[in-house]
Amino acid sequence: MSEKREEMQNPVVEINGVNKSYGHHQVLYDIDLTVDRGETVCVIGPSGSGKSTLLRCINFLEEIDAGQIWVNDTLIGYRVANGRLHEMREREACKQRVDIGMVFQHFNLFPHMTALQNITLSPVLNKGVPKAEARAHGLELLERVGLKGRENHYPSQLSGGQQQRVAIARALAMKPFLMLFDEPTSALDPELVGEVLSVMRDLAKSGSMTLIVVTHEIGFAREVGDRVVFMDEGRVVEIGPPEKLLDSPKEERTKAFLSAVL
């Protein structure tokens, strides 16, 4: 682990010994990973390596079979009482997700709502933000992701890159302390990748937000990532600062993957 890790007091995300299977097929093996406040961690690896599953486990879209995930010193998906773990009710799990933003590969905007309605829906419902305030904040966010004037457009009237930027604004509207990005540019046409990455870059540089980004964009990982995690076959193979991991990887599997994609 980097030296930075020791200076920091409490990490935002602590993943300890996480295992997960779908039926007989194990997808995550003994994952350990710690992410510090303000850090940007990029997770790379071949498809099917479990990167996306791990990301979904962090906000409990998926249950884990063993291990623990702590976010902001709160156990995800379970309550601790009398030294035992208790499964959470759906309502409690929803409360935990409110403060964790997530951006999906296929945007998953709500197609029957305008860009602004997509953004303001959950803050009004689940954070008790007054409508006018949510609207003002939503317009501000749209401007921040470079979509000023598009508030009344429906998702079908926006390009893929614009839709993904609305999705980022929608996640930011909940004022999360942690943002999870699940291959945010994989479904985009090549010429639209840049605009989404630049929004993410600004977010990472702002310093206040913690980002975990599952990505195939090695260039982005190198430029923006504080650390890069390489995963393969459900295991964390190697973690390190981008220049080290990407230029002089220690593990054979990392080398093989990088020589295949670069």
Binding site for other proteins (CB under 8 A): 59, 61, 90-91, 94-98, 100-102, 104, 106, 108-112, 121-122, 125-126, 154, 156, 170-171, 174
Q: List CB contacts of 30: < 8 A, sequence separation 6 or more.
A: 17, 18, 19, 67, 235
Let me know: does 15 contact 62? Beta carbons within 8 Å. no
Expressed in angstroms, the distance from the first to the final Cα of the chain is 25
Q: How many residues does the chain have?
A: 262
Cβ at position 244, least distance to other proteins in Å: 32
Chain-centre distance for alpha carbon 224: 14
Taking the least distance from each CB to other proteins, the nearer of 125 and 136 is 125
Cβ at position 106, least distance to other proteins in Å: 5
Let me know: does 55 contact 15? Beta carbons within 8 Å. no
Cβ at position 219, least distance to other proteins in Å: 27
Cβ at position 58, least distance to other proteins in Å: 11
Taking the least distance from each CB to other proteins, the nearer of 126 and 248 is 126
Q: DSSP 3-state assignment of 209? A: coil
Taking the least distance from each CB to other proteins, the nearer of 48 and 111 is 111
Cβ at position 93, least distance to other proteins in Å: 8
Taking the least distance from each CB to other proteins, the nearer of 157 and 248 is 157
Beta bridge partners of 229: 43, 239
256 CB neighbour count, 10 Å cutoff: 12
Taking the least distance from each CB to other proteins, the nearer of 161 and 176 is 176
